Amino acid sequence: MSQADSLPRTSHNPTLATLLSLIVPGSGQAYTGKRERGLLILLTAGVLIFLLGWLNLWVLAPLALPFWLWQAWEARLYAQGRNPGTMRLVLSIALLVYAIGWQVTQIDLSRVITSAPKVVPFVTGLVQPSYFDRQIDTTSIPAAIQIPCGTTPNLSSATDTGPTMRLSAACANPGDRITISGAGFPADTEGEIWFQNAIGDRARARGTDGLLAFVADENGAFSIDALMPVVANSDPQTHRLEAQYVTRVGPLGLSETSRLVIGRMGETIAQALMATTLGAILAVFISFFAARNLMRVNPATLAVYYVTRTLLNILRAVEPLIMAIVFVVWVGLGPFAGVLALTVHSIAALGKLYSEAIESIEPGPIEAITATGANRLQVIWFGVLPQVWPPFIAFTVYRWDINVRMSTIIGFVGGGGIGFLLQQWIRLTDFRAAGAAIWAIALVVIALDFLSSEVRKRVV
């Protein structure tokens, strides 16, 4: 006998059931006695209509037609005493839900192709991380200029040996355009133009298209226009423009980026280690109060169990990133805020894992020790701890692995570690430095994952 014929025939009118569900979704099911299913269909329809209206996605309303028609047909099948199944109804709902999700998340697969050139510098940085570099030699070629123009500007001229830089005018007013000409530079040299005011403050010079940069041609010459900035003093003062370029000399060695990555990566590992240690110590103590098999002695201890479990659930529900923001406001920027955030989250996560390990222990040793007249502390020391130390160690090592990964993200909000540097390099579009940090994070995470896996194999 098929499933469709397994239900008894009913006296309900199939046409009426169909019409009812067409008018009010789910009412036909309620008419045939499937009240809970009818209510669920009605609530689902209400939620979908609310989402379409709230998000102003009425253009997707035709996609609700399969759901509307199938639930009406389902009511007819119920009235005929047949079982329509659930899969088609679920698929019709899923069609509309995913269509709404597609619109809300603004998925546009064409942008993956059209915007691909934007990610090329980042991929290049990953392929060519700046771990090694030659010694950097920075050369600045100055030229003086008076802002605003006075009666008799008395300015020193550019040097006559080596690279030289000359200006099209000896003085200018704020907003004027000055042509900067360079000669004698190394061929194909890339550099930047800087402005230094009379009191020594420096900033990148700007042109009509943004910050000024130059590339010397094969003869070592360049020409570029600069806009004169607004200066604080309205009296004529001598400022200067500088053409600055970098050359690399000497043998390859560890770059400054490598030194920063190694230092911050060590800070990240130490941050995770301190948070895991502190969190584990406190979680061990708390976990006994969150173990039901130890706390169901009387109503008072059972109440402590529920309170402890609730607190652990609340703390675990708050992401470490949010905790890091709170602690950055509380104790300031730096790794200490990250340690506090990871410690609190580790207490919640390890407290749950430890308590579940305690709840799964064999009751025999506890009953035997209790029968000897041992007190509560002795029962825990001799009956519980020997059974839970192996999983405790495994959970703790695994948590250290997790904390190393989390500390990277926490650095993005000022919690210290390698994440802080990574955020800065990405913002400055220094993708080679960012690539060096990402590879360092990946290697450390892989190593710690292997270490934690081996420890868990040996102790569990």
Q: Tens of pLDDT along 318-334?
A: 988 899 999 999 998 88
Q: Give the number of C-alpha atoms closer than 13 A to the C-alpha of residue 5, restricted to the C-beta side.
A: 2
Q: Are 216 and 180 contacting, i.e. CB atoms less than 8 angstroms apart? A: no
Q: What integer pLDDT is reported at residue 5 of this predicted model?
A: 46
206-207 vs 210-211, strand pairing mode: antiparallel
pLDDT at position 24 is: 94
What residue type is 248 in one-letter code? R
**How many Å apart are CA 308 and CA 293, to the nearest integer?**
14
User: How far is the C-alpha of 398 from the C-alpha of 276, rounded, in Å?
Assistant: 10
Angle at 171 between CA 167 and CA 173, to 5 degrees: 115
Residue with tokens 């490598």, as numbered in its chain: 258
Domains parsed from the chain with CATH numbers: 3-104 (no CATH), 133-253 (2.60.40), 256-459 (1.10.3720.10)
Check the CA dihedral 331-334-340-342 and report its sign.
Answer: positive
Neighbours of 379 (CB within 10 A): 18
Q: Look at residue 198 in the predicted model and tell me its pLDDT.
A: 84
pLDDT at 449: 83
User: CB of 67 within 8 A of CB of 95?
Assistant: yes
Q: What is the reported pLDDT for 249?
A: 73
Radius of gyration of the chain (CA): 35
Residue 3's pLDDT is 46
Q: With 0-12 CB in 10 A as exposed, 13-18 as middle and 19+ as buried, what is 106? A: exposed
384, 361 contact by CB (below 8 A): yes
The contacts of residue 121 (CB under 8 Å, 6+ apart) are: 429, 431
Q: What is the pLDDT of residue 19?
A: 94
Report the alpha-carbon distance of residue 346 to residue 281 in Å, rounded: 10
Q: What angle do CA 270, 459, 365 make, to 5 degrees?
A: 125
What pLDDT score was predicted for residue 359?
Answer: 85
Coil vs helix vs strand at 179: strand
Which one-letter amino acid corresponds to residue 451?
L
* Segment 70-87, tens digit of pLDDT: 999 999 999 998 888 889
> The pTM is what?
0.67
**What pLDDT shows up at residue 10?**
55
Q: Could you give the 3-state DSSP secondary structure of residue 346?
A: helix
pLDDT tens digit at each of 460 positions of the chain: 444 444 455 568 999 999 999 999 999 999 999 999 999 999 999 999 999 999 898 999 999 999 999 999 999 999 998 888 889 989 999 999 999 999 998 888 888 899 888 888 888 888 889 888 777 788 889 998 988 887 655 554 445 567 889 998 888 888 899 999 999 898 888 899 999 988 888 888 998 888 899 999 998 999 999 999 888 777 888 888 999 988 877 777 788 889 999 999 999 999 999 999 999 999 999 998 998 888 887 888 899 999 999 999 999 989 888 999 999 999 988 889 999 999 999 999 999 999 998 888 877 777 787 777 777 777 777 777 778 888 888 889 889 989 998 988 888 888 888 888 888 888 888 889 999 999 999 998 888 888 878 877 776 6
Residues whose CB is less than 8 angstroms from the CB of residue 48 and which lie 6 or more positions away in sequence, other chains included: 64, 67, 93, 96, 97, 100
Q: Which helix (H) or strand (E) covers residue 241, if one does?
A: strand 237-254
- pLDDT value for 161: 65
Identity of the residue numbered 329: V
Look at residue 2 in the predicted model and tell me its pLDDT. Answer: 44
Q: Copy the structure tokens of residue 88.
A: 């088609």
Helix, strand or coil, per DSSP, at residue 147 = strand
CA distances from 217 to 140, 181, 183, 220, 246 (A): 18, 12, 10, 5, 16
